[in-house]
Amino acid sequence: KKMAVACPAFISDCIETLEEIGIRGKEDFIAAGGEDLILIPCVNDHDLWIDVLVEWTTAVLEKQPHTHSMTTI
């Protein structure tokens, strides 16, 4: 009767997700006999997500050779 929906493929909320899942999806769910559909927000700019991005970026950059000149193609 009640459902919570997460969209793990998206890291940030977008108008399409909010509208398609949060509004139309909820309407369809209720029309089919459900009582409530809750859209779980994406991670957006949550502190924990930003910390993970910093960790990943730091790990990648530490593995790359350091260059101080820019090259052009």
Task: Report residue 69: phi and psi, to 5°.
Answer: -115, 150
Alpha carbon distance 51, 45 (integer Å): 10
Provide the residue-wise pLDDT of the chain in tens; the chain has 73 residues. Answer: 999 998 877 788 788 778 888 889 999 999 999 999 998 888 888 899 899 989 999 988 888 765 555 554 4
Cβ neighbours of residue 21 under 8 Å, at least 6 residues apart?
5, 7, 39
- Determine the pLDDT at residue 73: 47
Cβ pair 39, 22 in contact under 8 A: yes
Category of 4 on φ-ψ map: left (φ > 0), alpha (ψ -120 to 50) or beta: beta
